[in-house]
Structure formats: structure tokens, C-alpha cells
Homo-oligomer: A and B are copies of this chain.
């Protein structure tokens, strides 16, 4: 399988981390969205939404959306429970990540890490950090009660939320207020097959 992705992207790192934890290697094809490479006709034929990552199967079928890719890679493994409610709870965290976490933590990280010191978007950082802390507080509530986000154990919910949470300090978000999240980051790093971004 091929993964069309950008190394600097946390959404793309999710697929890389899952493939390492599962022992299912992916052939990586670097696509640099900052140079317009997700807007070429060839790329838009893969994903009309013009976003990485895109998983390309050996038979040519393609799958977009980082968390849908995680589900596909993990299907049949312990990283995605098969029982209906346990599976739905993992999905709950994946949707939480895309709606209530990534638009704040990942965007704050992007602005703080990649944009010049005088860029006007830096004015957005205070409100993005505030919303990021609200998302981290939701994680803290759950992780103060159990080791991983799903009660059934380590899953792709942890992979999805690790992808940007580990880089929150780079975004200027202090994790000291979230001790259970900080301890959980270490538990994810301790998983056999873990690789850093």
C-alpha cells in the first residue's frame, strides 16, 4: 500500500504510527501541500477534497481522511474492537479529534511552528490555545479514570489524539495543567513499535 502524505503533518503521521504499531509497512509518497502539490489534477483525481493523507491500495482503490485510514488499517486488530459499542466509543474519540481538537491544537501548532514571527495569523493564537485547552480538559477527564481513551485499552483513538497532542507545547499550550494527558503521552510512547514523528 502507498501513503500519499506530508511528513510535517500530524494527520499523516497517524497512518505512519499505526502502520509501525501494526507491523504493516506503507510505501510513503511525499506530497507538499505548501507547494500546491495537493491541488494538481493528478492529486485531485485521488482526492477531490485536495487533502493528505490518501491511502492507495495495491489495486488502485483510494481512501482519504486520516481517521478513516486508521480504521481501515486497524480493522481486525486489537487497535479497533469488533464489538459494536466498544467500536463506537473508539469512533466517538476519532470524531472528537477532528471536530473539537484538531481545528484548534493542529492549527495553533501550524501557526506557531511554521509561520513567520510577524505573520498576522499569530493574532489567532490566544483563542486557538483557549479552545485547545477545552479539548485537552475533556481528554484529562477521561484519562484521569482510565489508562487509554477507550476503556477497552490502547486503540486508534489514542493514535489519532497523540498525533497533535504530543506537539501541543510547540503550539504554546502548557501540558502541566493536564497531568493525566502527560502520563498518557508516555504510555503511548511505550507501545511496542512506537515511532516518533
Q: Does A92 lie at the interface of the complex (its beta carbon under 8 Å from any beta carbon of B)?
A: yes
Q: Is the CB of B99 within 8 A of A48?
A: no
Q: Is the CB of B100 within 8 A of A49?
A: yes
| Size class of the contact patch on chain A | 35 or more
Q: How far is the CB of A48 from chain B (nearest CB, A)?
A: 4
Bound Cα distance from A51 to B100, whole angstroms = 10
Q: Does A159 lie at the interface of the complex (its beta carbon under 8 Å from any beta carbon of B)?
A: no
Provide the residues of chain B in CB contact with A98, threshold 8 Å: 95, 98-99
The count of identical subunits is 2
Provide the residues of chain B in CB contact with A68, threshold 8 Å: 88-89, 91-92, 94-95
Bound Cα distance from A65 to B72, whole angstroms = 20
Given A92-B65, A138-B48, the answer on whether A87 and B71 have CB atoms closer than 8 Å is yes
Q: Does A38 lie at the interface of the complex (its beta carbon under 8 Å from any beta carbon of B)?
A: no
Q: Mark A83-119, 1 if CB is under 8 A from B, else 0.
A: 0110111011011101110110000000000000000
Q: Does A35 lie at the interface of the complex (its beta carbon under 8 Å from any beta carbon of B)?
A: no
Q: Does A165 lie at the interface of the complex (its beta carbon under 8 Å from any beta carbon of B)?
A: no
